[in-house]
C-alpha cells in the first residue's frame, strides 16, 4: 500500500484500496485472499529492536514452572504433565492427503496438529497467555502481601483459605468473545478472585453458561469485541481493586503465548523433525486481535529464527490483523472501514480492529496471511474429524486454509524468493488448533452435521 493512503479518510479507504491490487480487491469483496508480507525481514536484523526478547520469555517460562505445583493441586487434569499446561503434537497424514487434493503440499513433507484445542483448564490456546497473566498478577499480590516470601517459596500456599480470602478482595476483568474469557475467568475464580468477563454479542451462549457455572460474573453487550473491551476497560479503571487483562495491549499475555515455542521444539525433536537451513518449518495460526498468534510468532522466531515461516489465517468477514498489516494502519483501521461485517461463525476470531501493539511488533516477522470463508471452516472441521477422529471448533480450523494454499502462485513465489522450492519435501507443517475441548456434545454434533 502506498504511503499516501495512510492519510486518507476511512470513508474513501475502500475505494482507494480497490485500485491498489487484486489482493485488496479480494479482501474488501469478502473473497478468500492470500497475502505475502512485503515487510518481512531477517530475524537477525530486527531482534534487537523489538523491545522484548529471550530474557522476558525465559522469565515467563520460569514463572510457569514455579506455579506448576499449585496448578497440579487446583486442576487434577494437569497431573500427567506435573502441572504444566501443555498439549500434544499429533501427525495428521489423513488430513494431509485430503488437503493435497485442494492445493496443499503433495510431497514427502509431514503435517502436524498442535492440539491446543485440547489444552487443560480452558480448552484453548488462551489457556497459555490468559492463565499466565492471572498467575503473574497473583504472584505480584502475593509477594506484596507476604503470602509468598519470594520465588523460592511453595506456591501451593496460594490454594489456602487465607490466600483465597485475600484474593477475594480483588477482582480480575477482561473483555472477550469467548476463549480468553474462559481462561481468565476459570483461573481467576479458582484462586479466589472475583472474576468479571465482558462478552460481546457474538460470544457463544455455552461459553457464557460455562463461565457462570464457575462463579464468574458475565456482562453482555450488544456490540462486538471492541465494545466489550472498551466497556470493561472503563469499568475496571474506576475500581482500585480491579485488574484488567487488556488483550489488545498486554505484554504479559503476549509472553505467556511465547513460551510455547521452546516446548514445540522439544516435541518436534521427539518426532524426529529437524528444523534448519535445509529443513524448513511452516506454522499456521488462526488470528483474531493478534495476541496469541503474535506471541507464538515471537517465540517461534526466537527458537527457530528464519527457518520457521509463520502464516496467519482469518475469516473473510473479520480479517482485522490482515487489514492492519497490509495497509500499515494497524489499530487505526477496522474491517468495517473496508466494508466488511466482522460477523463470523469463528467467534474467537470475530474482531473488527487489531492490536496495534502486536501488529507493529510482528510486522517484520510474519510471512503472510490468508482469509477463509466460514463454510470452509465447517468443512475442515468435518474432514479432520472423519480422517483423524479429532474435533476442533470453527476458529481453530482456520490454519488449514493456509495448508490448502501451499501450491498457490503467491506461496510458490514466496518459496522461490526464500530459496525453499527444492526443500519442501523435507519440510514440516504445523497447524495450531486453538480451541475445542470444552465445546458441549450437542454443539459438536450440530457443527459436524
* pLDDT at residue number 9: 59
Give residue 6's pLDDT band: very low, low, confident or very high (50, 70, 90): very low
Residue partners of 384: CB distance under 8 A and separation at least 6: 92, 95, 113, 390, 391, 392, 397, 400
Residue 49 has pLDDT above 90, yes or no: yes
Residue partners of 258: CB distance under 8 A and separation at least 6: 56, 57, 60, 295, 296, 298, 299, 302
Residue 449 has pLDDT above 80, yes or no: yes
* pLDDT at residue number 201: 81
CB-CB contact of 288 with 350 (8 Å): yes
* pLDDT at residue number 14: 76
Residue partners of 219: CB distance under 8 A and separation at least 6: 196, 197, 198, 199, 231, 232
Q: In this predicted model, what pLDDT tens digit does every residue of 349-386 receive, in sequence order?
A: 999 999 999 999 999 999 999 999 999 999 999 999 99
Mean pLDDT, range 108-130, rounded to an integer:
97
Residue 5 has pLDDT above 50, yes or no: no
Give residue 62's pLDDT band: very low, low, confident or very high (50, 70, 90): very high
Give residue 2's pLDDT band: very low, low, confident or very high (50, 70, 90): very low
Q: In this predicted model, what pLDDT tens digit does every residue of 63-77 receive, in sequence order?
A: 999 999 999 999 999
Question: Which of these, 184, 206, 115, lies nearest to 438 by C-alpha position?
Answer: 206
Structural domains of the chain sorted by starting position, each given as residue range(s) with its CATH number in brackets = 6-52+78-121+254-448 (3.40.50.1100), 125-249 (3.40.50.1100)
Residue 47 has pLDDT above 80, yes or no: yes
Q: In this predicted model, what pLDDT tens digit does every residue of 318-351 receive, in sequence order?
A: 999 999 999 999 999 999 999 999 999 999 899 9
* pLDDT at residue number 18: 75
Residue 264 has pLDDT above 60, yes or no: yes
* pLDDT at residue number 323: 96
* pLDDT at residue number 213: 96
Name the DSSP letter for residue 274: -
Mean pLDDT, range 241-262, rounded to an integer:
96
Mean pLDDT, range 106-115, rounded to an integer:
97
Q: In this predicted model, what pLDDT tens digit does every residue of 420-441 receive, in sequence order?
A: 999 999 999 999 999 999 999 9
Question: Which of these, 102, 427, 425, 131, lies nearest to 279 by C-alpha position?
Answer: 427
* pLDDT at residue number 11: 54
Name the DSSP letter for residue 17: H
| Burial group, residue 44, by CB count within 10 angstroms (0-12, 13-18, 19+) | exposed
Residue 150 has pLDDT above 90, yes or no: yes
Amino acid at each position: 500500500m502506498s504511503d499516501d493512503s495512510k492519510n486518507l479518510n476511512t470513508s474513501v479507504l475502500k475505494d482507494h484500496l480497490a485500485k491498489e491490487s487484486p489482493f485488496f480487491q479480494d479482501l474488501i469483496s469478502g473473497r478468500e485472499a492470500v497475502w505475502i508480507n512485503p515487510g518481512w525481514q531477517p530475524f537477525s536484523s530486527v531482534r534487537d529492536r523489538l523491545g522484548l526478547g529471550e530474557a522476558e520469555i525465559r522469565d515467563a517460562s520460569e514463572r510457569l514452572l514455579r506455579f506448576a505445583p499449585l496448578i497440579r493441586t487446583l486442576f487434577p487434569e494437569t497431573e500427567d504433565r506435573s502441572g504444566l499446561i501443555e498439549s500434544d503434537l499429533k501427525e495428521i497424514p489423513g488430513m494431509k492427503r485430503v488437503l493435497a487434493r485442494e492445493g496443499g503440499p503433495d510431497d514427502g513433507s509431514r503435517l502436524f496438529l498442535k492440539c491446543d484445542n485440547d489444552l487443560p483448564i480452558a480448552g484453548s490456546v488462551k489457556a497459555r497467555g490468559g492463565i499466565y497473566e492471572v498467575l503473574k498478577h497473583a504472584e505480584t499480590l502475593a509477594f506484596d502481601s507476604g503470602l509468598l516470601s519470594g520465588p523460592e517459596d511453595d506456591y501451593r500456599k496460594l490454594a489456602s483459605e487465607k490466600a483465597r480470602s485475600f484474593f477475594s478482595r480483588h477482582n480480575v476483568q477482561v473483555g472477550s468473545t469467548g476463549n480468553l474469557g474462559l481462561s481468565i475467568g476459570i483461573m481467576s475464580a479458582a484462586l479466589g478472585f472475583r472474576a468479571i468477563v465482558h462478552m460481546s454479542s457474538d460470544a457463544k451462549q455455552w461459553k457464557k453458561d460455562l463461565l457462570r457455572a464457575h462463579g464468574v460474573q458475565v456482562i453482555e453487550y450488544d456490540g462486538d469485541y471492541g465494545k466489550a473491551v472498551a466497556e470493561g476497560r472503563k469499568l475496571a479503571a474506576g475500581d482500585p481493586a480491579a485488574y484488567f487483562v487488556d488483550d489488545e495491549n498486554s505484554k504479559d499475555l503476549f509472553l505467556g503465548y511465547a513460551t510455547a515455542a521452546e516446548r514445540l521444539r522439544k516435541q518436534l525433536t521427539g518426532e524426529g523433525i529437524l528444523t534448519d537451513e535445509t529443513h524448513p518449518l511452516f506454522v499456521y495460526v488462526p488470528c483474531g486481535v493478534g495476541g496469541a498468534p503474535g506471541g507464538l510468532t515471537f517465540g517461534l522466531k526466537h527458537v527457530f529464527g528464519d527457518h520457521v515461516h509463520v502464516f496467519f489465517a482469518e475469516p473473510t468477514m473479520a480479517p482485522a490483523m490482515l487489514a492492519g498489516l497490509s495497509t500499515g494502519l494497524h489499530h487505526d483501521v477496522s474491517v468495517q472501514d473496508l466494508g466488511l461485517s466482522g460477523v463470523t461463525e469463528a467467534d474467537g476470531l470475530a474482531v473488527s480492529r487489531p492490536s496495534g501493539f502486536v501488529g507493529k511488533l510482528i510486522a517484520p516477522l510474519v510471512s503472510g496471511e490468508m482469509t477463509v470463508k466460514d463454510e470452509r471452516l465447517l468443512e475442515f472441521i468435518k474432514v479432520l474429524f472423519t480422517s483423524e477422529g479429532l474435533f476442533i471448533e470453527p476458529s481453530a480450523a482456520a490454519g488449514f486454509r493456509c495448508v490448502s494454499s501451499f501450491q498457490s502462485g503467491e506461496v510458490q513465489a514466496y518459496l522461490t524468493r526464500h530459496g525453499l522450492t527444492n526443500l519442501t519435501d523435507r519440510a514440516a507443517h504445523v497447524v495450531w488448533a486453538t480451541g475445542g475441548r470444552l465445546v458441549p456434545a450437542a454443539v459438536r454434533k450440530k457443527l459436524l452435521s
